[in-house]
Amino acid sequence: MARLKDIVEYCDQRTHREEIADFPGAHNGLQFENHGDVTKIGAAVDAGLVPFTLAAERGIDFLIVHHGMFWNPPTAFTGVHRKKLLTLFANNLAVYGSHLPLDCHPQIGNNAILARKLGLNVDGGFVRYEKHDIAVTAPAIEDRAHLRERLKGLFPETLICIEAGPQNTKRIGILTGSGRSAIPELRERGIDTFITGELKQEHFNIAQELEINLYLGGHYATETFGVCALAEDVADKFNLQWEFIDTGCPL
Amino acid sequence: MARLKDIVEYCDQRTHREEIADFPGAHNGLQFENHGDVTKIGAAVDAGLVPFTLAAERGIDFLIVHHGMFWNPPTAFTGVHRKKLLTLFANNLAVYGSHLPLDCHPQIGNNAILARKLGLNVDGGFVRYEKHDIAVTAPAIEDRAHLRERLKGLFPETLICIEAGPQNTKRIGILTGSGRSAIPELRERGIDTFITGELKQEHFNIAQELEINLYLGGHYATETFGVCALAEDVADKFNLQWEFIDTGCPL
Amino acid sequence: MARLKDIVEYCDQRTHREEIADFPGAHNGLQFENHGDVTKIGAAVDAGLVPFTLAAERGIDFLIVHHGMFWNPPTAFTGVHRKKLLTLFANNLAVYGSHLPLDCHPQIGNNAILARKLGLNVDGGFVRYEKHDIAVTAPAIEDRAHLRERLKGLFPETLICIEAGPQNTKRIGILTGSGRSAIPELRERGIDTFITGELKQEHFNIAQELEINLYLGGHYATETFGVCALAEDVADKFNLQWEFIDTGCPL
Amino acid sequence: MARLKDIVEYCDQRTHREEIADFPGAHNGLQFENHGDVTKIGAAVDAGLVPFTLAAERGIDFLIVHHGMFWNPPTAFTGVHRKKLLTLFANNLAVYGSHLPLDCHPQIGNNAILARKLGLNVDGGFVRYEKHDIAVTAPAIEDRAHLRERLKGLFPETLICIEAGPQNTKRIGILTGSGRSAIPELRERGIDTFITGELKQEHFNIAQELEINLYLGGHYATETFGVCALAEDVADKFNLQWEFIDTGCPL
Amino acid sequence: MARLKDIVEYCDQRTHREEIADFPGAHNGLQFENHGDVTKIGAAVDAGLVPFTLAAERGIDFLIVHHGMFWNPPTAFTGVHRKKLLTLFANNLAVYGSHLPLDCHPQIGNNAILARKLGLNVDGGFVRYEKHDIAVTAPAIEDRAHLRERLKGLFPETLICIEAGPQNTKRIGILTGSGRSAIPELRERGIDTFITGELKQEHFNIAQELEINLYLGGHYATETFGVCALAEDVADKFNLQWEFIDTGCPL
Amino acid sequence: MARLKDIVEYCDQRTHREEIADFPGAHNGLQFENHGDVTKIGAAVDAGLVPFTLAAERGIDFLIVHHGMFWNPPTAFTGVHRKKLLTLFANNLAVYGSHLPLDCHPQIGNNAILARKLGLNVDGGFVRYEKHDIAVTAPAIEDRAHLRERLKGLFPETLICIEAGPQNTKRIGILTGSGRSAIPELRERGIDTFITGELKQEHFNIAQELEINLYLGGHYATETFGVCALAEDVADKFNLQWEFIDTGCPL
């Protein structure tokens, strides 16, 4: 057993919470406080009723989420909002949210981990938000067909390939989750191949015109890495168990 | 015992909730849902931890408030925010907020009741917000000294008198709570005496220059009428008891 | 051969162009003027270099598109922008854009056609933009499994199913392209099953919490209907041939 | 007798006018120019018709005010606006406004003087506006009851006490005039007792929830210090007499 | 001699002051109040120090201006601002501003009078601001060369001709003062010849591309008509003399 | 013959394009790309249909303009917009826009050249936009009458003189094109004589009140210098011919 206060402090420091500005609505940090003790760590992508219920069933009392509770702040504690809070209170389940800090962290960030899993060596960043880059670049290490195979292995259910760029790729950009904000910078960065989670339909045409390869692994699927890595770190540090709460989101 | 659903529906209709636009942050209506049954009605001006705790101690499970829970929406359910929600859950206490609908209602609105208590006959409205007037006017029925006495009787602790207008008043304006939005309309409405709850320091000078009598009864003290009247109505309708939760706010 | 002017006038009237307000950037109507005569009609979803080139190769000189040329207005006629314009000039290819008018049209709109293809009878509209509803509702005619089969037939490559709602569906909502703007209205409209083209990852969680079935057919795939229907109408009217320019967009 | 130009220059320097950004509408500095000579200095809180008239009656030809003439800029020189200007012209009365510079000045600022009168030693600032702190902090030197007595002595008519904090106070914050902007910072600064001029009703509930002692001395009453101190300084410097114009404002 | 109050009331009615919304900064109506009596009327285009001084020299005590005193509201009554007010007080000179009401009035408006002077019959309006058209249209009555001659007669010093339209003009648009807001509407109104006061350099190129004749008579020169007509009306009505204060502005 | 790419690169460097922020809509740099080779340089003030046509007639294939193509971005390539692009494509005419960089350049900027032509020695800058001054100052070298003569020589058709300042000028400000943004700074800079291209009618009154001499040479006429100087530089560098395309704009 560990104290909530210590775990929150550790998470804040590990993710550099205070130094990293985030989008309005993120409100990183402790989002729901429990009684004060923690016995088991959980990781989930979304702060939803289903993840909360599953976490409670598995005895988790500290749940790390990537998408927190306040993107659409409640304006009445009724219906689903009430159920979510009641689930948290009833199961003494604390919720900790960490968004951009878990995207851009050089060790436990979504981008960094995805690059490692693809065997790539990150050599720079792009898509600056306030003072931090939230996407990474890496030199290509093999041709497009091999890269596609690796991605297919990581995201077997969700991978979408739009191969409008060169077969012999030179430079790769990675931005997990939504890749929208990276699109305007790709050409000027010399990126010919962009790996992300999710894009909108309009980007298909843009990819054709920019002659860029796009690989979409799924917003959810590309953002499970960071919460798991932080959960594992916390669990190690405080000698607790941890578990990933998978909702199988296909988007 | 009555069903929460029926009480909420009754309150919505009695206050014409859907027809009256309110300020952003008001979010009138059921703000916190309880298990579904109600046994005792409460009325309070503010949705605060102290009123919630006092209401719970007195066995109230449906609390009507004038200033609801979302003027500053929570962005972390920790500390005081958590305590408030826990108090509500633990005591099965529902919260119903009604702001402008309880200011401008012709029977159970704060302005209408205050006018009645002063023996005044409302003959018009002013300070329009969207489609409704939220302040009232009435012809004077006696001179300034007598009016001041009546007000002193109603607001013995909080009354502030700024008598820069005529002794023989002609026309009275009333706006409970903050009177700020009424100031620019006073002269054009022929109002020489304005009764309100609260004003800012800058209005003293304005009163002197406009040659208007200002009587400030206290924001809190002038806004206890509406919530009590609605609570009494609900209690009558559903054959329940009701109680006012007084916090003694001097402002 | 027909005159460009007559065709544009016909399209404007057929789509009620002037009566339907659209998003900034749509700029519906003739977007690129050719020499003045038209011999073959084309239909495409996007106004991109690849569709323009394919249309030119097939002898098309009047291309109807759903997503026009000005969502991101050019600020230098260089590179791809220059190539697009040169392709249009060199091939005497006129471009006509029609966005919301081809979503909400009761006969040749994307929603109406998709509903017909699913055997559904539209009985109302929702998601109002200015003065027109851009989504439709219909009573369900069979259970979820059968509906899914029909959708799989229409969108074999792109269909994503998120079945968080009831098996016995009651009420269906349809909004082709991006379904985002429909989400807040689903519950209040009694819609338990929503068919759209594209949603963002955050809507998976919302679907689970609202207990709604979501079927995503692909933004592109659900928006090929309207441009084809208008092209066919124009071709019939002016006794010309028409062709659909398919780019195989997987999004 | 002194030259207006020299007095204005002295006031500008003494208050660091150019270095201190102020709210829109403050327009610190010489606001109304007289013929060019000054024989007697006045100090008033508000730039109103009554203070102007009183100052003229007492032979003042240079009036320092805290709340200047342009918070609501005139859009017609008629009625009261005309009377004010005519009073100034007819009595050759110059007006000098100084708002935040007379709040935050370490010697002649309202906060600094109030702290001195309470025997407190200022050890820091808070509530930053642009580049300057406009509120001060000080360690407590005695318990709450003694502090209350001192305040009662300074503000006998206007003091309002909301004692929701500890009896043994540790840390005191002071912001004369409106205290609203200080509220969000109190807890993070470790302030358990806040002395200010004026607050709104909503802050009573906040005080209860934050467990903070609030003492409200009156907006006007807490802002007489700075203008008097500057007037005295100017009078000393130029060997003139000075007088405070009291309007007895109860707010 | 007449009473200021009656003259202001007459001007308000004659110009339909309350019904005509104007740009922010216009503040039409009495802008500076004198002692209450009027003996001589003046008219000027601008509310400046020179026109005020000239008007005072000629014994005027009610000056009608087109461009009033508040386009740039004063934020210190020093220097020129002080001089202007002092000139008004010292000479008991009232100022009455009327902007759009004196542009769009069908009898005494700048546009209507200019059309009459050119022998044109106004048959419509354009450039709507809130609920009123502020420009007029008229069918051409002669060719371009004759029109130019008439204009040269009216504006001998200031006329600028940009003749990029047809020699045989069909339809004329008139907007005195700045013609900028009319430009986007010219072609859709079928106007081939536009008479205005002032345009910016960018409109030369636009005129060439739209193939429109532009005649610029000078902002000042085209806006002397309305103030004179109102002054004459007032003088007649109240049996007073009137005079135009000409500053010879070449712009 | 030279390569377009090299000429664009030279122009970018010569004008410090990347370092100088410009107004939205300027979009300095290559605005329309031709086939890639350049044989003759042109200079024009405006990117209009007439200048494009004249340039094409004279065999120009690289046209430098001061006011580029995107101040009002096209939203349909029809009518005049189509004609302009077709003229460029058909004549293989590239367009290069340079706005503020050609105003503020110390050698080839409009202000610097105008100062030289007047025999003035620039000793400072004012009217800062982002990080650069876009106007210049110079000590006067002769009295007003002589300066007026020199200006009359440079701008014989367009010069407007508003001589409300001193006859013995001390300090001169220059801002070619629109002088509007310089007006608020003139007095504080000690400028008694301001030379610019274009002002609005309201500035006549301001000049009288500030007691400043205004000389308006014409927006167009004062901005022909920079494009010509750059064209000449480019022509020299690449051993090409150049020509100025004069449209005789009187504004």
Residue D22 lies inside a defined structural domain of this protein? yes
CATH of residue D128: 3.40.1390.30
Question: What value does the mean pLDDT of chain C take?
Answer: 97
Q: Are residues D58 and D7 in the same domain?
A: yes
Q: Are D118 and D148 in contact (CB under 8 A)?
A: no
Which tokens go with A65?
């989420």
Residue A251 lies inside a defined structural domain of this protein? no
Task: Please name the residue that has the structure tokens 């692009």.
Answer: F85
Task: Please name the residue that has the structure tokens 């580029």.
Answer: F68
Residue D140 lies inside a defined structural domain of this protein? yes
pLDDT value at position D66?
A: 98
pLDDT value at position C27?
A: 97
pLDDT value at position D238?
A: 98
Q: Are residues D212 and D234 in the same domain?
A: no
Q: Confidence band (pLDDT; 50, 70, 90) for B135?
A: very high
Which tokens go with B156?
């013995």
- Comparing C-alpha atoms, which of D238, F16, C146, C198 is closest to residue A251? C198
Question: What value does the mean pLDDT of chain A take?
Answer: 97
Q: Are residues F166 and F183 in the same domain?
A: yes
Please, which chains are in contact with A (at least 3 CB pairs closer than 8 A)? B, C
CB contact under 8 A, A204 and C177: no
Q: C49 is in which domain, residue-wise?
A: 2-98+224-243
Residues B175, B198: Cα–Cα separation, whole Å: 9
Q: Confidence band (pLDDT; 50, 70, 90) for C83?
A: very high
Rg over CA atoms, chain C: 19
Extended beta strands in F62-164, E state: 62-67, 94-97, 124-129, 132-139, 160-163
Strand partners, A29: A97
Which residue type is seen at D153? G
Q: Are residues D108 and D151 in the same domain?
A: yes
Q: How far does the CA of residue F198 sit from the closest CA of chain E (Å)?
A: 8
Interface probe, candidates E75, E80, E91, chain D, greatest D C-beta count within 10 A:
E75
Q: Are residues D122 and D198 in the same domain?
A: yes
Q: Confidence band (pLDDT; 50, 70, 90) for B21?
A: very high
Strands A213-216 and A193-198, sheet pairing:
parallel
pLDDT value at position F87?
A: 98
Q: Which of residues 13-32 of D touch E (CB under 8 A)?
A: 27, 29-32
Burial profile C100-113: b = 16 or more Cβ within 10 angstroms, e = fewer: bbbbbbeebbbbbb
Q: Confidence band (pLDDT; 50, 70, 90) for D151?
A: very high
CB contact under 8 A, C219 and A203: no
Which residue type is seen at B30? L
CB contact under 8 A, F67 and E250: no
Q: How far does the CA of residue F225 sit from the closest CA of chain C (Å)?
A: 24
* CA dist list (Å): C56 to B16, C63, C73, C94, E25: 62, 9, 23, 10, 55
Regarding chains D and A, contact by 3 or more CB pairs under 8 A is answered as no
Q: Give F2-12 pLDDT, tens digit per residue.
A: 999 999 999 99
Which residue type is seen at A238? F
A73 versus A116: the higher-pLDDT residue is: A116
pLDDT value at position B118?
A: 98
pLDDT value at position A44?
A: 98
Answer whether D78 touches B (CB < 8 Å).
no
pLDDT value at position C161?
A: 98
Q: Are residues C162 and C206 in the same domain?
A: yes
Which tokens go with F8?
């664009």
Q: Are residues D210 and D131 in the same domain?
A: yes
Answer whether D78 touches E (CB < 8 Å).
yes
Q: Give C15-57 pLDDT, tens digit per residue.
A: 999 999 999 999 999 999 999 999 999 999 999 999 999 999 9
Q: Give F185-206 pLDDT, tens digit per residue.
A: 999 999 999 999 999 999 999 9
Give B221's contacts in chain D (Cβ within 8 Å): none
Answer whether E96 touches D (CB < 8 Å).
no
Residue D39 lies inside a defined structural domain of this protein? yes
Which tokens go with A61?
């009392």
User: How many CB atoms are located within 10 Å of the residue B19 CB?
Assistant: 10
Q: H-helix or E-strand containing A115?
A: helix A110-117
Please, which chains are in contact with D (at least 3 CB pairs closer than 8 A)? B, E
pLDDT tens over chain E, length 251 residues? 999 999 999 999 999 999 999 999 999 999 999 999 999 999 999 999 999 999 999 999 999 999 999 998 899 999 999 999 999 999 999 999 999 999 999 999 999 999 999 999 999 999 999 999 999 999 999 999 999 999 999 999 999 999 999 999 999 999 999 999 999 999 999 999 999 999 999 999 999 999 999 999 999 999 999 999 999 999 999 999 999 999 999 99
pLDDT value at position D98?
A: 98
Residue E116 lies inside a defined structural domain of this protein? yes
Q: Give D184-227 pLDDT, tens digit per residue.
A: 999 999 999 999 999 999 999 999 999 999 999 999 999 999 99
Answer whether A75 touches B (CB < 8 Å).
yes
- Comparing C-alpha atoms, which of E42, E41, E55, E64 is closest to residue E88? E55
* Sequence-separated (6 or more) residues with CB below 8 Å from residue A71: A25, A26, C202
Q: Are residues E20 and E92 in the same domain?
A: yes
Answer whether E70 touches D (CB < 8 Å).
yes
Residue B248 lies inside a defined structural domain of this protein? no
Residue F196: is it exposed, middle or buried by C-beta count within 10 angstroms (0-12/13-18/19+)? buried
- Comparing C-alpha atoms, which of B67, B215, B154 is closest to residue D203? B67
Q: Which member of C78, C79, C85 has the closest CB to residue F85? A: C85
Please, which chains are in contact with B (at least 3 CB pairs closer than 8 A)? A, D
- Comparing C-alpha atoms, which of F174, C241, A114, D208 is closest to residue B45? D208
Residue F104 DSSP code: H
- Comparing C-alpha atoms, which of B120, B213, B231 is closest to residue B160? B213
Q: Are residues A48 and A136 in the same domain?
A: no
Q: Are residues B60 and B117 in the same domain?
A: no
Q: Are residues A134 and A212 in the same domain?
A: yes
Determine whether the annotation assigns residue E99 to a binding site.
no
* Sequence-separated (6 or more) residues with CB below 8 Å from residue A103: A109, A110, A111, A134, A175, A176, A177, A223, A226
Residues E38, E4: Cα–Cα separation, whole Å: 6
Count up the domains in chain D and report the number: 2
Residue A249 lies inside a defined structural domain of this protein? no
Tell me the three state secondary structure of residue E70.
coil
To the nearest 10°, the Cα dihedral for F76, F82, F84, F88? 120
Residues B167, C185: Cα–Cα separation, whole Å: 57
Q: Give C153-194 pLDDT, tens digit per residue.
A: 999 999 999 999 999 999 999 999 999 999 999 999 999 999
Determine whether the annotation assigns residue D67 to a binding site.
yes
* Sequence-separated (6 or more) residues with CB below 8 Å from residue E31: D76, D77, D78, E47, E68, E69, E70, E95, E96, E97
Q: Give D81-111 pLDDT, tens digit per residue.
A: 999 999 999 999 999 999 999 999 999 999 9
Give F77's contacts in chain C (Cβ within 8 Å): 31-33, 69, 85, 88
Q: Confidence band (pLDDT; 50, 70, 90) for D120?
A: very high
Q: Are residues B209 and B229 in the same domain?
A: no
Average pLDDT estimate for B109-129: 97
Residue D249 lies inside a defined structural domain of this protein? no
